[in-house]
Amino acid sequence: MATDTLKSTTGAGGATGGLRRLLLDNGALTALIVLVIALSALSGDFLTTDNLLNVGVQAAVTAVLAFGVTFVIVSAGIDLSVGSVAALSATVLAWSATSHGVPVVLAVVLSVATGLVAGLVNGFLIAYGKLPPFIATLAMLSVARGLSLVISEGSPIPFPDSVSHLGDTLGGWLPVPVLVMVVMGLLAAFVLGRTYIGRSMYAIGGNEEAARLSGLRVKKQKLAIYAFSGLFAAVAGIVLAARLSSAQPQAADGYELDAIAAVVIGGASLAGGTGKASGTLIGALILAVLRNGLNLLNVSAFWQQVVIGVVIALAVLLDTLRRKAGATPVAAGTGGNRSKQAGTYALAAVVTVALVGATSFLHNGSSSSTTPKMGLSLSTLNNPFFVQIRSGAQAEAKKLGVDLTVTDAQNDASQQANQLQNFTSSSLGAIIVNPVDSDAASNSVKAADKADIPVIAVDRGVNKAAVDALVASDNVKGGELAAKTIGEKLGGKGKIVILQGQAGTSAARERAAGFAAGLKAYPGIQVVAQQPADFDRTKGLDVMSNLLQAHPDVQGVIAANDEMALGAIKALGSKAGKSVQVVGFDGTPDGLKAVEGGTLYASVAQQPSQLGRIAVDNALKALEGKKVEETVKVPVKVVTKQNVAGFTG
């Protein structure tokens, strides 16, 4: 284009003009600032040093993963495997150091090498095997997750203490994960901006053919790019596991999508050629600030997901609009330009007001200072059992006049750690935790203990940290009861299959142990298959259908929860309750209905709403300084068609 070019708009504006330019140039930064202002206005607990450091810690893992993904996205690729590779690297570290006595330094090297190799395999498949990046890394997502389960045999492995310090603070206040995030961010910025490989990423992402014809060794570069991504994933995995003091084979599940979201919110294009480390950091911070703020505001766990989705879309929309506004002429027509800028401001204002309005609407805590406050962190709300725990707890809280905040960790130990940290920093009177993993919750519980906040565990215990009380059903006993029920029903003889719970959870392990112990009394019962179906109804259906192909003659099924049992019943069709007897676990409303209908022979019923109720009772006692029992056992009982009518959860 020929003439009338102008370099910059900031003339007389000075410092404010510079700031305005910075904000207009970076929609994500504007969004972050809007969010911070909105949350500070809504919650007094938000803008404190402690809480901001919490946000940093909570952003760290996503940010480090996202820095690695930035390399890939800038070069017009995609890496879906980073979450799994992070889990695999952490598992390798814990497995070699803890289980095999490899020196810790060597174990760390081994773990980083694992990430590197996973990245190299991705890069090789993409550059030389010509697989689309989406497919190659999707395959690695599955392989790495599977390998971490294989190595750990499905159970979390304790992390060596020396590495666990990575999850602590430096000098008593600076959390190491934040430090790692900053260092990796600087490293990423340095690689992208100054190194040969970094500059190549932009060229390859912008126009691969032009890069090749300019002599860039595109294939070798791609190998290196994915190796970098794997390396960053390994570091993220180590940080994640250090925070939890345990390597979880199921950790970082779905984090690749958070990482990609962070990169895109930060202004990168999935088409490649653009993206910056600073933008990615802002993207990761936006996600962390949101989760933290919504926890503090006591927004319902279900609405949180809606809000997060809306904010991701808004942040990217703001950035797109900003670019369009930036694309308007600046040389002349100053009037038009100003109105466009005003438009951007107006949009930002509308977004802020909408956000503040929506969150304060969803935020249901009219918190007068006299009512005792408590937090309940549930492992998941994607399962009726835990929903019943919540209802029991909420009903009791209402009765006792307690202000109860409920969060949903979505079966992610690290997300639970964040939520517990948020509870601690907003100085609640008491915390009730339903751990995703008993080992992984220990650090967070220790922190709460340190802050003199009573902690009650519900349904699952916490290892290596003191809780004031554990309110739980007896899973091992329940498992034995389930075995006994099926043994008696089949007359001590027959072939059965066992559907196990999600590998790595204590409930799955304990119930499996109970089944095994109970079946010892029935040598005539033959277990022809044991397969995990992850406590999930759909998976229960699939796994059972598959097992029926191999063993059409089974006579009994023990499922480690009702959801899987109901899935199995679907798979069995008309056989259920007639030629095949199914025993479930939990006594959920759906399960009990099936017992009533005769398709489910029996369910070992826990009393989830009782668990919730008793947990809140005990928490209040502890809060008021009264003495509480160390373990409160809530009885389980076998519910069959005979006694189902009288049973209430």
**Which residues bind to other proteins, rule: CB under 8 A?**
1-7, 194-200, 202-203, 206-207, 209-217, 273-274, 326-333, 336
Q: Length of the chain in residues, anyone?
A: 649
Give the nearer residue to other proteins in terms of CB position, either 332 or 349: 332
Least separation, in Å, of the C-beta of 27 and other proteins?
Answer: 16
Distance CA(450)–CA(446), nearest Å, equals 6
Give the nearer residue to other proteins in terms of CB position, either 202 or 386: 202
Give the nearer residue to other proteins in terms of CB position, either 195 or 546: 195
Give the nearer residue to other proteins in terms of CB position, either 215 or 552: 215
Type and span of the H or E element at 543: helix 537-550
Helix (H, G, I), strand (E, B) or coil at 431: strand
Give the nearer residue to other proteins in terms of CB position, either 3 or 49: 3
Give the nearer residue to other proteins in terms of CB position, either 330 or 528: 330
Q: Which long-range contacts (CB under 8 A, 24 or more apart) does 605-608 make?
A: 605/636, 605/637, 605/638, 605/639, 605/647, 605/649, 606/385, 606/473, 606/478, 606/634, 606/636, 606/649, 607/473, 607/634, 607/635, 607/636, 607/649, 608/385, 608/386, 608/388, 608/389, 608/392, 608/459, 608/649
Least separation, in Å, of the C-beta of 580 and other proteins?
Answer: 48
Give the nearer residue to other proteins in terms of CB position, either 175 or 267: 267
Tokens linked to 337: 């330009």
The distance of Cα 82 from the centroid of its chain, to the nearest Å, equals 14
Least separation, in Å, of the C-beta of 267 and other proteins?
Answer: 13
Least separation, in Å, of the C-beta of 321 and other proteins?
Answer: 15
Least separation, in Å, of the C-beta of 326 and other proteins?
Answer: 7
CB within 8 A of 376, min separation 6: which ones? 390, 393, 404, 405, 406, 407, 431, 432, 433, 434, 458, 612, 615, 616
Question: At residue 124, what are phi and psi to the nearest 5 degrees?
Answer: -65, -45
Least separation, in Å, of the C-beta of 528 and other proteins?
Answer: 51
Phi-psi sector, 587: left (phi>0), alpha (psi -120 to 50), beta: left
Give the nearer residue to other proteins in terms of CB position, either 1 or 15: 1
Least separation, in Å, of the C-beta of 612 and other proteins?
Answer: 55
Least separation, in Å, of the C-beta of 209 and other proteins?
Answer: 5
586: nearest Cα among 519, 517, 499, 649: 649
